[in-house]
Structure 1
Amino acid sequence: MVERRRGAQQIANVANGLIDPVLARRAGINTALLSSWPEIAGPQFADCTRPEKIAWARRDEAGDGRPQPGVLTVACEGSRALFLTHAQGELIARINSFFGFAAIRQLRIVQKPVAPQPKSRPLRPLDAIAASRLEDMVDGMDDGRLKEAIMRLGRGVLSSRKRPQR
């Protein structure tokens, strides 16, 4: 029996539910890996690399029936591929940490252009009332990084709202 939920759903969950099976079938990866790639690759490689596909080994190669680690193909721009080659041990450890098990045993680095991340549109400046309201919301926070992240989110949300016409 299928239970149907009523109400609003996040569009990201709906889209990921549609896209993940296609990515898994075609490339062996999912949207979680793609969206987390900048954190996994770190600042040194986030802007010049992109995961493309995972070639999973067959389960019976070791004879114990457990899944075997795969080979991740990573697109990398030009000369940065040499630096990625030297740092691939650390990157494999980060990827496996992301998955929570030894999912990747090797990187296959392919030199090709990596599309830049889309630029976010500039935000409209907040009016004095909205800026004051946002400051009041985060006033008691002690964690500086969390406070700054919430401030960025608040500026994005409050500046994207349509202003009433006068």
Structure 2
Amino acid sequence: MRERDAEPRRRGRGFEAAAGLLRERIRAAGESRGFAVSRLLTHWPEVVGAEIAAIALPVKIGYGREGLGATLTLLTTGAAAPIVQMQLPRIRERVNACYGYNAIARVTVTQTAPTGFAEGQVAFGPAPKPASHPPEPEIRREAAVLSGGVQDPALRAALEALGEKVLSRPGQKKG
């Protein structure tokens, strides 16, 4: 056996997108919870809008015995439940637009995870950043002095802004 034959064969396609590598796993996981269209899970903010996606997540789709219309279950927090409840007709309309036909007949809201699901919490976005106060004039002057030797005005402005942030950090040794 030649040494070249022992090497694994390359497929020759180069890099592949991560979405392509995970497509089958996402589809299988979605179908196990009743999601025939994985786009509903992977593009949830685009389907229902960012404001609803921030407070509610799709958990499962249950199909009736006759097969006429399904029920989409959304997971949310207690405080956001009334807001989501008011938006149910709009959510149902947008989800059905994602499917391309009237697949969802009802949308229910739950504040806890259904039995057997590990995720019992809605994923929250990052905490809002505290309001920044303008730096003191002496810090601005010091940052301007430090970046004064730079000829490019855009680069100098960026360095001044960086210098102001570094010099105004509390509890740090300045300079």
Inter-partner Cα distance in structure 2 for 1:88 and 1:41: 10
- Listed as ranges, the matches of 1:60-139 within 5 Å are 61=66, 68-112=68-112, 113-117=121-125
**Larger C-alpha radius of gyration, 1 or 2?**
2
> What is the CA RMSD across the aligned residues, in angstroms?
2.4
Residue 48 in 1 paired to residue 55 in 2?
A: yes
Q: 97-106 or 11-20: which moved more? A: 11-20
- Listed as ranges, the matches of 1:132-151 within 5 Å are none
Identity of aligned residues (%): 27
1:101 deviates by: 0.8
Deviation string for 1:83-130 (max 9, x for gaps)?
Answer: 2111101110000001101111111101143022589xxxxxxxxxxx
Q: SS of the residue aligned with 1:72?
A: strand
Inter-partner Cα distance in structure 2 for 1:36 and 1:50: 11
Inter-partner Cα distance in structure 1 for 2:74 and 2:42: 15
Inter-partner Cα distance in structure 1 for 2:52 and 2:69: 22
Residue 32 in 1 paired to residue 39 in 2?
A: yes
Inter-partner Cα distance in structure 2 for 1:83 and 1:103: 23
Greater helix share, 1 or 2? 1
Inter-partner Cα distance in structure 2 for 1:6 and 1:52: 39
Q: SS of the residue aligned with 2:58?
A: strand
Q: SS of the residue aligned with 2:49?
A: helix
Counterpart in 2 of 1:10?
A: 17
- Consecutive unaligned residues of structure 1, counting only runs of 5 or more, are 62-66, 120-166
For residues 20 and 49 of structure 1, do their structure 2 counterparts lie closer, same or farther at Cα, with a shift above 3 Å needed?
Answer: same
1:44 deviates by: 2.6
Inter-partner Cα distance in structure 2 for 1:77 and 1:56: 24
Inter-partner Cα distance in structure 1 for 2:51 and 2:58: 15
For residues 118 and 19 of structure 1, do their structure 2 counterparts lie closer, same or farther at Cα, with a shift above 3 Å needed?
Answer: farther
What one-letter code is carried by the residue in structure 1 that aligns with 2:48?
A: A
Deviation string for 1:61-89 (max 9, x for gaps)?
Answer: 2xxxxx53210110012221112111101
For residues 12 and 43 of structure 1, do their structure 2 counterparts lie closer, same or farther at Cα, with a shift above 3 Å needed?
Answer: closer
What one-letter code is carried by the residue in structure 2 that aligns with 1:107?
A: V
For residues 38 and 68 of structure 1, do their structure 2 counterparts lie closer, same or farther at Cα, with a shift above 3 Å needed?
Answer: same
Inter-partner Cα distance in structure 1 for 2:102 and 2:125: 28
Q: SS of the residue aligned with 2:21?
A: helix
Q: SS of the residue aligned with 1:116?
A: coil
Inter-partner Cα distance in structure 2 for 1:96 and 1:18: 24
TM-score, length of structure 2 as denominator length? 0.54
